[in-house]
Amino acid sequence: MQNLDVAIDLGTSRIRIYLPGKGVVLDEPAVLTVDRDTDEIVAIGTEALKMQGKLSERLATVFPVRDGVISNYGFTETLLTEFVRAVCGSKVFMPRAVVCVPNLITELEQRAVCQALHNAGARKVCLIGEAIAAAIGADIDITVPHGCMIVDIGAGTTDIGVMTLNGMASFDSIKVAGNSFDSAIIRYMKNKHDLIIGPVTAERIKKEIGCAVPRDFRTYTRVSGRSALNGLPLSVSIASDEIAEALEEHTIAIVRRVQHVLENTPPELVGDIYTDGIILTGGSAQLHGMDRLIERKTKLNVVVANNPSNCAILGTGAALKYMDSYDNDEFKTSPLQFAKY
Ligand SMILES: Nc1ncnc2c1ncn2[C@@H]1O[C@H](COP(=O)(O)OP(=O)(O)O)[C@@H](O)[C@H]1O
Ligand SMILES: [Mg+2]
């Protein structure tokens, strides 16, 4: 297994790995369960996520990637090492890696990502911006002089970019996405229903009845938690319209940022976007009505890409072919960012 190439999407909520010829071979939550006293790792990935909110006092759940960047360096490295080993096997001989990162990552954060990959065994590391990767993964030809707007709504960040000629003409990234939606639902439940719930329940509510604009047919779900008034178990029925209200502040913040990027895009490219519309990618693009909300506010056509959660990793995988130009010093014609670390 020499000269193996791997593509990695280091998301806030999930890490995905792609191998050429095999496709997406790993899709695991970016989470660990650790012993508070000894820092010993008890579980990683899916197994650790199942334990979230149900731990004994001695243990803690750690999400080492916060808002799309590494906040806990050691644990991120552990996750990457374990996951790369799981898909490449022990025979792996220092693969080349392309890693998908948020649009607005700082030099320091770039260095941390590359270092984690080097320590996990990668010989060469290239970075690719999330919006570009998502555009390639959504089957858009970004090599031509034609503007295309991607809005990737993940867990930690929303990455917005207008792509043309293998690069971005305008872009932005905000720390408002799926995790903010979950926090807003937790706050709403406490303020409106005196009900205390955890992030796992909030995410379930969001996926079941969540919406960015009220649904045509109102739906309901039952929510159980702890009463904020007397601390006893409490269960209430929640309507989808309430969740639209709870999420409004954040969904509107995303729309405003999309409008801002459009305002800063050269007019010829805006013309292309007017014709083609906006493409939504990322797991949170599946929030019911998110496309309709952006459509209403921008007066542009908006479509959710096929399999939106996987666009970034598929695009990162497709970008592996540019690794050769890394070797040949042809970086200017590639969507990859050269990683110097
Ligand atoms: N059906 C759905 N409706 C709304 N949000 C969803 C749905 N499915 C997944 N999500 C959200 O998508 C986010 C994960 O998206 P993803 O693009 O994988 O994020 P990241 O790349 O930041 O890890 C999570 O916040 C998750 O709750
Ligand atoms: Mg992502």
pLDDT value at position 239?
98
Ligand 1 atom nearest to CA at 181: 25
Pocket test for ligand 1, best of 104, 250, 293, 309 (most atoms within 8 A of CB): 309
Ligand 1 atom nearest to CA at 282: 17
Proximal ligand: closest to the CA of 131: 2
State the distance from the centre of ligand 1 to the C-alpha of 121, rounded, in angstroms: 29
pLDDT value at position 288?
98
Ligand 1 residue neighbourhood (C-beta within 6 Å)? 11-14, 154-156, 178-179, 203, 206-207, 210, 282-284, 286-287, 309
pLDDT value at position 91?
55
Ordered by where they begin, the domains of the chain are: 5-133+312-338 (3.30.420.40), 141-176+251-309 (3.30.420.40), 178-246 (3.90.640.10)
Proximal ligand: closest to the CA of 27: 1
pLDDT value at position 21?
92
pLDDT value at position 116?
84
State the distance from the centre of ligand 1 to the C-alpha of 286, rounded, in angstroms: 8
Q: Do the Cβ atoms of 150 and 163 come closer than 8 Å?
A: yes
**Which residue stretches of the chain have pLDDT < 50?**
1
Ligand 1 atom nearest to CA at 308: 17
State the distance from the centre of ligand 1 to the C-alpha of 182, rounded, in angstroms: 10
